[in-house]
Structure 1
Amino acid sequence: MTLLQLKEINSFYGGIQALKNINIDVNEGEIVTLIGSNGAGKSTTLKTISGQVKPKTGELIYKGENIVKLQSHEIALKGIAHVPEGRRIFSKLTVKENLEMGAFSVKDKKLIAARMEMAFDYFPRLKERINQKGGTMSGGEQQMLAIGRALMMGPSLLMLDEPSMGLAPIIVEQIFEIIEQLNKQGMTILLVEQNAYQALQIAHRGYVIQTGEIQMVGEGKTLMNNEEIKKAYLA
């Protein structure tokens, strides 16, 4: 079943067109990845879905509803969690407080506690750092916290923007293992990732985006074996 559809999306920054007639489908239970060079429109696509960038034309169909006119907080309440590039945790708040901020719309204290324990199950390091301020943690720990905070919303769709950026290879492996674990537990994931090899290894399907346009679509492993993709992104 299709969870999210982008239909003929055109997004702009001022007079500059960033996305050109973008069509993307994300099915329930999939990992879908967007790959492309810097400035290709990957992050803009996620920002458009989460309401930070309003498309000039096109439709965003989520669970059968066109959400294109909704504000960012309304889209989040619908079940779309966006972990932005650069993590953007609350550096002066503790791990516990950051996680609680992720559950801002949840009134049930038992549910909040259960989701926090789930975050700790995925990221045991966070439990060890529960009273530590976010800004004093390592880059990898901050990335874990950013994902954990998103999970506190109980999303149907988790969007991750460059989760491996600036992290040591061993931490990158851990993050991608957790992304796979989340997916195996039923989480639908839309992943933007500069590390195309890592992304295509775990993705069910991928979209190649260049200068704001979709250039290629295919299964993750098919794209990984494509000679053009190898030369452009996997060399």
Structure 2
Amino acid sequence: MADELSKHFLELTHIESFYGKIQALQGVNLYVDKGEIVTLIGSNGAGKSTTLKSISGQVTPKTGSILFDGKDITKNPTHVNAHLGIAQVPEGRRIFPRLSVRENLQIGAFAERSKSIIAERMERVFGYFPRLKERLEQKGGTMSGGEQQMLAIGRALMMKPKLLMLDEPSMGLAPIIVEQIFDIIKEMNKEGMTILLVEQNAFQALQLADRGYVIQTGNIVLEGPCSELLTNQQVREAYLA
């Protein structure tokens, strides 16, 4: 049934999500097609992270529907969505600081029993982030912010996700490191990864992504190709000035 309802890889229809009595999303409509990078931009508290949490299952929408890869996942808990192939790199990275790089990565492959497949996935992560291989036995908490962000993305990739959701990957990082992270996101996408990106750096996000959405106080107020959003006067004044 869901296949008939949605032609898109991921589709949110009229999603309303709450924290207690506080409404965070007010009828969000959004879609992502396979192989795209889609970005969601907006100010702090606009509902960006809540949108990702509603997709991953950390927040259960009160109304509306979320369809992913032909399945209705609206009410699914997080672990079910993880098994379906949705991986989220949370804001603030949230690696395990007392565990080594190796252990952090192994946790990402929690659902996989085969040691050879886990090793294969780890090598793929090292292809994107060679520095992690150099720091394999180092405790996560002793690494730089940029290295921790690489580790957080690497841990998500260990799940072999169909959809990778990134929440503020540039936060707190030096510009040169941000550039490296964005280059790697672009590379992953070229190799077929579908990406939904929430990002405070609107200019870089819109340069990287195919399409974008602008969210304000829980409402999508603008959407379209990023090339159009970059030249939109409203977007330029609010996010690119």
What TM-score range do you get, normalising by the shorter chain? over 0.9
2: CA distance, partners of 1:107 / 1:166 = 35
Q: Secondary structure of the equivalent of 1:21? A: strand
The CA deviation string for residues 77-101 of structure 1, in whole angstroms up to 9 with x for no partner, is 1000000000000101000000000
2: CA distance, partners of 1:126 / 1:91 = 14
Aligned counterpart for 2:104 among listed residues 94, 98, 101: 98
Q: Percent identity?
A: 68
**Pair 1:127 & 2:133 matched:** yes
- Contact preservation (8 Å) 2:61, 2:75: no
2: CA distance, partners of 1:3 / 1:94 = 35
2: CA distance, partners of 1:234 / 1:195 = 9
Please name the residue that 1:28 is paired with: 34
Please name the residue that 1:229 is paired with: 235
* TM-score normalized with structure 1 length: 0.99
Please name the residue that 1:220 is paired with: 226
Q: Secondary structure of the equivalent of 2:9? A: strand
1:109 Cα deviation from its structure 2 partner:
1.3
**Pair 1:208 & 2:240 matched:** no
RMSD between superposed Cα atoms in Å: 0.6
Please name the residue that 1:72 is paired with: 78
**One-letter code aligned to 1:178:** I
2: CA distance, partners of 1:67 / 1:206 = 23
Please name the residue that 1:111 is paired with: 117
Please name the residue that 1:5 is paired with: 11
2: CA distance, partners of 1:108 / 1:127 = 20
The gaps in structure 2 that reach 5 residues or longer are 1-6
Q: After the TM superposition, which residues 142-221 of structure 1 pair with which residues of structure 2 at under 5 Å, given as runs?
A: 142-221=148-227
* TM-score normalized with structure 2 length: 0.97
The answer to which of 179-188 and 64-73 deviates more is 64-73
The gaps in structure 1 that reach 5 residues or longer are none
Runs of 4+ in 1 over 2 A off after TM superposition: none
Please name the residue that 2:90 is paired with: 84
